[in-house]
Structure 1
Amino acid sequence: MRLKKLEREQVRMKYGGRCTYCGIELGGRWHADHLEPVTRELIPKQNANGTWRLDAGKPLRPENDHIGNMMPACAPCNISKGSQSLEVWRTWIARHVNSLNLYHPIYRLAKAYGLVVETAAPVVFYFETVTL
Structure 2
Amino acid sequence: MKLTKAQREQVRQKYDGHCAYCGCQLPERWHADHFEPCIRDLKRVEAPNGSVRLATTTPLRPERDVIENMMPACPPCNISKASMSLESWRGWLAGHINSLNSYHPIYRLAKQYSLITETGAPVVFHFERVDGAKGA
Question: Is residue 2:87 matched to residue 1:87?
Answer: yes
How big is each residue's C-alpha offset from its partner over 1:10-65, in whole Å with a ceiling of 9 and x where there is no partner?
A: 1001001100000011121110000000101233556736xx76542221011100
In structure 1, what residue type is equivalent to 2:62?
P
User: For 1:7 and 1:44, how far apart are their aligned partners in 2?
Assistant: 29
More strand by share: 1
TM-score (norm 1): 0.90
In structure 2, what residue type is equivalent to 1:88?
S
Corresponding residue SS for 1:129: helix
Aligned partner of 1:59 in structure 2 is 59
Question: Is residue 2:34 matched to residue 1:34?
Answer: yes
Corresponding residue SS for 2:3: coil
TM-score (norm 2): 0.88
User: For 2:122 and 2:68, how far apart are their aligned partners in 1?
Assistant: 26
Question: Is residue 2:68 matched to residue 1:68?
Answer: yes
Q: How far apart are residue 115 of structure 1 and its match? A: 1.0
The alignment covers a number of residue pairs equal to 130
In structure 1, what residue type is equivalent to 2:91?
T
Aligned partner of 1:105 in structure 2 is 105
User: For 1:57 and 1:104, how far apart are their aligned partners in 2?
Assistant: 38
Q: Residues 45 and 9 from structure 1, CA distance in 2 versus in 1: closer, same or farther, beyond 3 angstroms?
A: closer
User: For 1:104 and 1:129, how far apart are their aligned partners in 2?
Assistant: 31
Which stretches in structure 1 are left out of the alignment for 5+ residues? none
Q: Which moved more, 1:37-46 or 1:63-72?
A: 37-46
Q: After TM superposition, what 4+ stretches of structure 1 lie above 4 angstroms from structure 2?
A: 44-47
Question: Is residue 2:115 matched to residue 1:115?
Answer: yes
Question: Is residue 2:27 matched to residue 1:24?
Answer: no
Q: What fraction of aligned residue pairs are identical, expressed as a percent?
A: 62
In structure 2, what residue type is equivalent to 1:78?
N
